[in-house]
Structure 1
């Protein structure tokens, strides 16, 4: 955990002097600590123009690789843009565990055999794209572990949670036998359109913005069909990693945690906060055996 956290803090310039309760660590129930900072890093304006962690483009459209320079294993990350915002977290794990991560994350294309609504860009090619990803996995049998995360609010052609679950189940079932572990990262909470302005006002008033700008949990978090499907695929190694407690308590979700801005927009993580979650994904993996 200490090595992973050190890797987290060196991902971004200026984070080396981060306080003990920095980012997700401020909500670690196993090692409680209290963050008293009223600062926010990055600011909403900085987050809006900060790109994702860099990666090397792969041989399949919308794929890229990152991680250890001397990997001992390769893992895959599948899904839409809500998979891509976990990149900094998996980069932390990859450096610690000597992984190469191959990411297949196409915006508006969840890892599913159900089509997104026609209003979503590239909707008609999403299922075919996921089939190409599955073919790549079959051709690379050394990849035994995949992580999956999808936008649980993305409009789909077939409405209803049952239809969403069926689409994910069909895609999971089509994974080659060489994939022995499927870890579904539960989708993250959202914030309001007005949240960045609320944070700016709180900073100007020298008020802690995490509590001042919180969002009711029932609004911020919705049912995630991907995790339901993963639970039903337990016989194929399906597991769920739910880090909601690092964003929310039982009633509210917080747009700033441990002095770190959680979202760069309404529903995508800042890479700085994502990085602080890396050690806790690792902890969940260890607990899952």
Structure 2
């Protein structure tokens, strides 16, 4: 990604262009054929810090730089190509991707265009139920977003360092060296900690990546003083290239970066830069400066932008998880061809933009964003209109009765297509997930969100894991009709008990801490009732499901609530299918995608006959999900399951009237 906005120093270093080529090829090859991350993006971050710091320092030493002009030149260099890729990707998504992905694609395109996609992905990465989401067409823009945020901050850092040096009467570069060293140390320390605590978040966090730019800046300042003998530079060049090539092989970059592990590719790239032009026939720079390699380096920015959407569309059309050898070659060839065409066009736009006043570059850049904004706006309006039409159709109980059709549903009685469509079922979730009201598996805070009446007749808290959370749509409808306040307090894969739990086979300590915080919250909140799961068929999500049990610690927890004067509604766990319903329906009919309740549930609910505290009301609502001997994936023309065990929000809303009747009958 050749994103350096300013002219390089007079002694142009061709080996850096070659290093760009190596980095972009590593990124593309690992994406296309291995489905892995290579560490090549970290090389780009280091190079950006190296080149931009050098340019800013030279400009400051010549008398200063204009912040607006700096950003304007950046915008006219970067935006046109990015806008073109975004526009083509939107068109490709409309033609080639399922409708269920359109709305997310539009949101991601805007986040990419305005350089905050890394934060968009960071918030999505901590969602327990988003773990199997399809890959975004714009996912690779996360690194450009991080770079864009760096560009906003770095001139300020360099400018303040020079101002501070003038006030102190100290050499400017020494002061800047101290500042960058501080940024490097603090950001790296934060990166190591954040990666350990919440790696998916840290991966996209600009603060956890800032040290890579700072390392490049330090290298720019120190390079004139690093003059190892030629033999050592030859060795450094080859060691750096070898380390870069092996990084993605030996490290699972996507799960251990950034942290200290990202020192591997950044220090490897630094070694190549220190090696420089050795003049040796055996030096790595001799290979890096071959004409084809230099050419790839010159189009690396466009190649990086094009390769990912081309790959995503190829996989969507072929139905593959990874490209075949020939398919991968086709993806790379098309990507290189598009980069070869768009790079000279972008260069002409850059020349035109820089030929006028300071206002011309940002105006030219903005002109390329306007069509993207118009297209996304028009597409969003159309999707909103379609959503309103669909909601009107779904409100017709004759066409989509859902749970009302039990126990004698006739699957052949409905002319309309099943809703939600199996392809988009995984997005038919309670609104609490979009609202950020469900704690991630890595978080411990008891997040509370209020719904329903502001001056309630009754307050109900929904507490537990995702099998409690999926009851929210039904409870919300009841709360609206009854003037209740509904408080959502849920966490992925975490049961409401003080008993030790596992997640992916490991002790789930975050769940234990969250449980303690929830109890403190309930002591303060004092709701009239807590709605939670009373049994479970899965004590460890990595193990699928097991025998249905009344979980250790449930009854003790309910007694604690009894002491607080809080009622408990303990609902039996929902039955599980032996497969993901949407996947099965893509290959079979509903009859072939059914299973008996006994596949996961006990013959009788473990709540029956158990010695429960007086404040506990046990509910078995299996008959609202299944026929007596069969659990179907579709009931009343509504898809019941969005995976193998979680209930769609649409189906939950159809059983709200009967749930309300039973709640009032049992609890008053």
TM-score w.r.t. length of structure 2 = 0.36
Choose which of 581, 586, 591 in structure 2 pairs with 1:200: 586
Partners of 1:76 and 1:104 within 8 A in 2: yes
Question: Which shows bigger deviation, 237-246 or 32-41?
Answer: 32-41
Residues 70 and 121 (structure 1 numbering): CA distance in 2 closer, same or farther, change over 3 Å? farther
Partners of 2:399 and 2:414 within 8 A in 1: no
Match of 2:414 in 1: 37
CA RMSD of aligned residues (A): 3.3
2-structure distance, mates of 1:171, 1:74: 19
Report the CA distance between 1:179 and its aligned residue: 3.4
Residues 58 and 280 (structure 1 numbering): CA distance in 2 closer, same or farther, change over 3 Å? same
Match of 1:170 in 2: 556
Partners of 1:116 and 1:123 within 8 A in 2: yes
Match of 2:618 in 1: 240
| Counterparts of residues 1-289 of structure 1 (less than 5 Å) | 12=391, 14-19=393-398, 22-27=401-406, 36-37=413-414, 39-54=417-432, 55=435, 57=437, 60-117=445-502, 119=504, 123-141=508-526, 143-149=527-533, 151-155=536-540, 165-175=551-561, 177-193=563-579, 195-201=581-587, 209=590, 211-222=591-602, 228=607, 231-235=610-614, 237-288=615-666, 289=668
Structure 2 residue ranges without an equivalent (≥5): 1-388, 440-444
Report the CA distance between 1:199 and its aligned residue: 2.2
Partners of 1:23 and 1:259 within 8 A in 2: yes
Secondary structure, counterpart of 1:215 in structure 2: coil
Residues 112 and 229 (structure 1 numbering): CA distance in 2 closer, same or farther, change over 3 Å? farther
2-structure distance, mates of 1:153, 1:12: 34
Secondary structure, counterpart of 1:228 in structure 2: coil
Residues 268 and 223 (structure 1 numbering): CA distance in 2 closer, same or farther, change over 3 Å? farther
Report the CA distance between 1:68 and its aligned residue: 3.0
1-structure distance, mates of 2:547, 2:602: 11
2-structure distance, mates of 1:48, 1:194: 10
Partners of 1:169 and 1:233 within 8 A in 2: yes
Partners of 2:406 and 2:627 within 8 A in 1: no
Higher helix share: 2
Partners of 1:138 and 1:176 within 8 A in 2: no
Partners of 1:111 and 1:148 within 8 A in 2: yes
Residues 11 and 114 (structure 1 numbering): CA distance in 2 closer, same or farther, change over 3 Å? farther
2-structure distance, mates of 1:24, 1:162: 23
Partners of 2:536 and 2:550 within 8 A in 1: no
Report the CA distance between 1:129 and its aligned residue: 1.7
Residues 72 and 121 (structure 1 numbering): CA distance in 2 closer, same or farther, change over 3 Å? farther
Higher strand share: 1
Structure 1 residue ranges without an equivalent (≥5): 1-9
TM-score w.r.t. length of structure 1 = 0.78
Secondary structure, counterpart of 2:486 in structure 1: strand
2-structure distance, mates of 1:94, 1:11: 24
Residues 43 and 162 (structure 1 numbering): CA distance in 2 closer, same or farther, change over 3 Å? closer
Larger RCO: 1 or 2 (CA < 8 Å, sep 6+): 1
How many residue pairs match? The answer is 265
Report the CA distance between 1:176 and its aligned residue: 5.2
Structure of greater Rg: 2
